């Protein structure tokens, strides 16, 4: 009976939080991994593992997105400099 209530409560919480979870990139994957790891550790740790996994997955996805934006900014500035240096030589 306790397990059924825990599952029902978790399902309700996830249903209410669904709009926020859609924006949290990496959260679902991290929560799945964390929940499984917490379940394997012992009784009652699945939900805690899912919460920590969600936070860790979101953090990882945020770092990955920042790195992607940084590389895009670098490549954008490098391509502008490379094309101007080629045309700077004057022929006499």
The alpha helices in the chain, defined as continuous H runs, are 2-16, 18-23, 27-41, 45-86
pLDDT reported for residue 20 = 56
Task: Tell me the CA end-to-end span of the chain in Å, nearest whole number.
Answer: 90
pLDDT reported for residue 89 = 52
pLDDT beyond 80 at 31: yes
pLDDT reported for residue 54 = 86
pLDDT beyond 80 at 62: yes
- Structure confidence at residue 91 as a pLDDT band (50, 70, 90): low
- What global pTM score does this model have? 0.53
d(CA 58, CA 52): 10
């Amino acid at each position: 009976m306790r397990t059924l209530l825990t599952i029902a409560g978790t399902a309700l919480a996830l249903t209410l939080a669904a709009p926020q979870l859609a924006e949290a990139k990496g959260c679902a994957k991290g929560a799945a991994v964390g929940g499984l790891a917490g379940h394997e550790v012992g009784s009652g740790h699945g939900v805690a593992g899912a919460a920590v996994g969600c936070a860790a997955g979101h953090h990882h996805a945020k770092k990955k997105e920042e790195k992607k934006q940084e590389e895009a900014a670098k490549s954008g500035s490098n391509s502008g400099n490379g094309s101007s240096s080629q045309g700077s030589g004057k022929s006499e």
